[in-house]
Amino acid sequence: MGNIIQLKIMLQRTAPPIWRRVLVDDKITFFELHHIIQIAMGWENYHLFEFKIDNYSIGVPYEELDDFDFGNNKLVDASTLTLDDIIANQKKKFSYEYDFGDGWKHQIIVEQFLPRESSKSYPICIDGKLNCPPEDCGGVAGFYQFLDIIEDNTHPDHDEMFEWIGGHYNVEYFDKEEINNKLKLLNKYIKEWND
């Protein structure tokens, strides 16, 4: 029946840190974990991704990436590898990068293995802090520049940036219930995002 793994996902180089804590089934694929992270963090699944763990680079194989340098690692298809194929112990750390242009790098910590609770639906987000940066804002440096601009009513790009973001952005926003409502529809999101 498998275990439940508690993962802490932290967006690197953010201060204070932007993070989520999720419970996932150890039988899910890394492809499914990618989509869980997309929902939990608030990304929109517009870009490629890669996990790095031990000697594995795990992602979606594309012919365009055949000549891409993964160092000593070979790109393993994320849809064929499950978490329990690789993750065997607590306190293991691995990385997840989303959007190779903006370079959103996350550190993922395996915090603990838990017994499955029949009263819970998995995956589930149990905690987190702060809002995810907007897509395509230019990575961490661009995100902090974006925050400076929207917080300064006198900045010449203030109005344009607010229009670009849709008129509202709250850096403190984190809604666990909203995330969990989306996680309940994980298979729907996977189908929509990959059709």
Domain span at residue 68? 4-130+174-194
Write down the pLDDT at residue 176.
97
In Å, how far are 4, 112, 113, 115, 180 from 118, measured between CA atoms?
A: 11, 18, 16, 9, 17
| Whether residue 110 sits in one domain with residue 91 | yes
| Whether residue 151 sits in one domain with residue 81 | no
| Whether residue 28 sits in one domain with residue 111 | yes
| Whether residue 114 sits in one domain with residue 53 | yes
**Alpha-carbon span 10 to 129, nearest angstrom:** 10
> What six digits make up the tokens of 187?
């298979």
Write down the pLDDT at residue 173.
96
| Whether residue 102 sits in one domain with residue 68 | yes
Specify the pTM: 0.91
Domain count, the chain: 2
CB 165 within 8 A of CB 125: no
**Alpha-carbon span 186 to 165, nearest angstrom:** 25
What are the mean pLDDT values of the chain's consecutive 10-residue runs (195 residues total)? 89 97 97 97 95 92 57 80 90 94 96 93 97 95 95 93 91 96 92 84
Write down the pLDDT at residue 40.
98
| Whether residue 180 sits in one domain with residue 110 | yes
| Whether residue 55 sits in one domain with residue 93 | yes
| Whether residue 139 sits in one domain with residue 156 | yes
Looking up residue 125, the CATH number of its domain turns out to be 3.10.290.30
Burial class (CB in 10 A: 0-12, 13-18, 19+), 91: exposed
| Whether residue 144 sits in one domain with residue 63 | no
| Whether residue 181 sits in one domain with residue 148 | no
Write down the pLDDT at residue 193.
85
| Whether residue 189 sits in one domain with residue 135 | no
Residue 167, number of CB atoms within 10 A of its CB = 7
Write down the pLDDT at residue 55.
85
